């Protein structure tokens, strides 16, 4: 190759490197998709996280518009209110707890760049359960201190506290119950490892049961007394990626993100399909039993669970609280 050719190749390489560097340095465009929704029955507030990591909160009584004081640069995989509704925990590139009513720096519970898929408070709000990107189930003291570790769970799988505050249920490929004090396995909920990933997890305290959804499109229920499977819903073509229990009933709303909302009654086995109602986010219920869903353009919609009619919407973008 002659000198002129070498110069041409070097010039092309230089331009290519400059283009790559420019693309890498450009700020990521805002992502308006609503990915997570949480409701605090204690404070009467809702919270929603957009795909770009912005967290909005607002009162469900309509007294104020959604505002945002929190943002996670790496995006958010889960968010939950503390049991008293005063603060919000977010999981993503670490776990942090922040206030929703003023601009503050969230308090980190877990740092270091590792990804965490979910966050769950015990009833007293003193401890948080999560699953790390290494597949460890961790219990973190909110006030600080060494975490308790249990092994193992599917990476980013779901983990939820049982009502006794001493045990957690993990989903993933082999659902199980764990003792958080000893870190030991208490029981496996399935005879063998599942091919399809299981999760999310919902605890039905009134029935002393735990419900776990699955990528196979169904929901299964287990007794928390003897860990025996007690019921299962019919399977659907969609994954069960999110589900929530309507307060005071045995109705469970569930969906795969981007797909239609479905319903299953744990007591009667009755099913309903809301073909026209889709959600981009996790599902949540208000204290009045209204279902909340998220859209791709930054809106949270409220639905009458009996009639299927949309009763309200909140626009997270384009109001004075947006930053």
Query: Could you read off the pLDDT of 170-185 as tens digits, one per residue?
Result: 998 999 999 998 889 9
Q: Tell me whether strands 251-255 and 229-232 are parallel, antiparallel or unpaired.
A: unpaired
Q: Is the pLDDT higher at 16 or at 150?
A: 150
Tokens of 51: 């795909």
Query: What is the distance between the alpha carbons of residues 282 and 154, in angstroms, rounded to a whole number?
Result: 20
Contact 198, 159 (CB under 8 A): no
pLDDT band for 239, please (50, 70, 90 cuts). very high
| Cα–Cα dist 268/225, whole Å | 21
User: DSSP assignment of 249-275, as one string?
Assistant: SSEEEEE-TTEEEEEEETTT--EEEEE
| Residue range 134-142: mean pLDDT, rounded | 87
Burial of 129 from C-beta contacts in 10 A (0-12 / 13-18 / 19+): buried
* pTM to 2 decimal places: 0.86
In this prediction, residue 223 carries a pLDDT of 97
Among the residue ranges 18-32, 187-201, 274-288, 296-310, the one predicted with the least confidence is: 18-32
Phi, psi of 236 (to 5 degrees): -125, 170
* Sign of the alpha-carbon torsion through 315, 317, 319, 323: positive
Contacts for 18 with CB less than 8 Å, ≥ 6 apart: none
Q: Please check whether the domain covering 195-308 is classified as CATH 1.25.40.10.
A: no
Q: Quick one: pLDDT at residue 70?
A: 80
Count CB neighbours of 184 within 10 A. 9
What is the pLDDT of the chain when averaged over all its residues? 86
Sign (positive or negative) of CA dihedral 294, 47, 56, 74: negative
Which pLDDT does position 110 carry in this prediction? Answer: 83
DSSP one-letter code for 300: E
CA 157, CA 275: separation in Å to the nearest integer?
A: 28
C-alpha to C-alpha distance for 81 and 41, rounded to whole angstroms:
9
CA-based torsion, 287, 288, 290, 295: positive or negative: negative
Over the stretch 149-177, which tens digit does the pLDDT of each residue have? 877 766 667 999 999 999 999 998 999 99
């Amino acid at each position: 190759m002659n000198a002129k050719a070498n110069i041409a190749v070097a010039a092309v390489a230089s331009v290519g490197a400059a283009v790559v560097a420019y693309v890498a340095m450009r700020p990521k465009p805002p992502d308006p998709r609503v990915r997570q929704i949480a409701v605090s029955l204690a404070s009467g507030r809702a919270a929603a996280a957009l795909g770009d990591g912005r967290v909005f909160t607002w009162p469900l009584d309509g007294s104020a518009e959604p505002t945002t004081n929190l943002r996670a640069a790496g995006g958010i995989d889960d968010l939950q209110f503390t049991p008293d509704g005063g603060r919000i925990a977010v999981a993503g590139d670490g776990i942090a707890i922040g206030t929703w009513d003023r601009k503050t720096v969230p308090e980190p519970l877990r740092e270091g760049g590792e990804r965490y898929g979910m966050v769950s408070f015990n009833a007293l709000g003193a401890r948080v359960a999560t699953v790390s990107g290494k597949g460890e189930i961790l219990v973190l003291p909110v006030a600080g201190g060494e975490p308790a570790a249990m092994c193992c769970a599917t990476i980013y799988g779901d983990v939820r506290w049982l009502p006794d505050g001493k045990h957690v249920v993990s989903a993933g490929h082999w659902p199980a119950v764990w003792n958080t004090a000893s870190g030991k396995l208490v029981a496996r909920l399935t005879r063998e490892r599942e091919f399809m990933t299981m999760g999310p997890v919902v605890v039905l305290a009134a029935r002393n049961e735990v419900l776990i959804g699955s990528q196979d499109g169904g929901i299964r229920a287990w007794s928390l007394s003897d860990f025996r499977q007690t019921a299962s819903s019919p399977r659907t073509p969609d994954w069960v990626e999110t589900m929530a229990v309507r307060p005071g009933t045995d109705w469970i709303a569930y969906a795969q993100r981007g797909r239609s909302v479905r319903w299953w009654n744990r007591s009667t086995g009755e099913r309903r399909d809301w073909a026209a109602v889709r959600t981009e986010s996790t599902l949540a219920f208000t204290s009045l039993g209204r279902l909340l869903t998220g859209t791709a353009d930054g809106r949270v919609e409220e639905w009458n669970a009996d009639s299927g009619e949309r009763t309200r919407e909140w626009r997270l973008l384009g109001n004075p609280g947006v930053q």
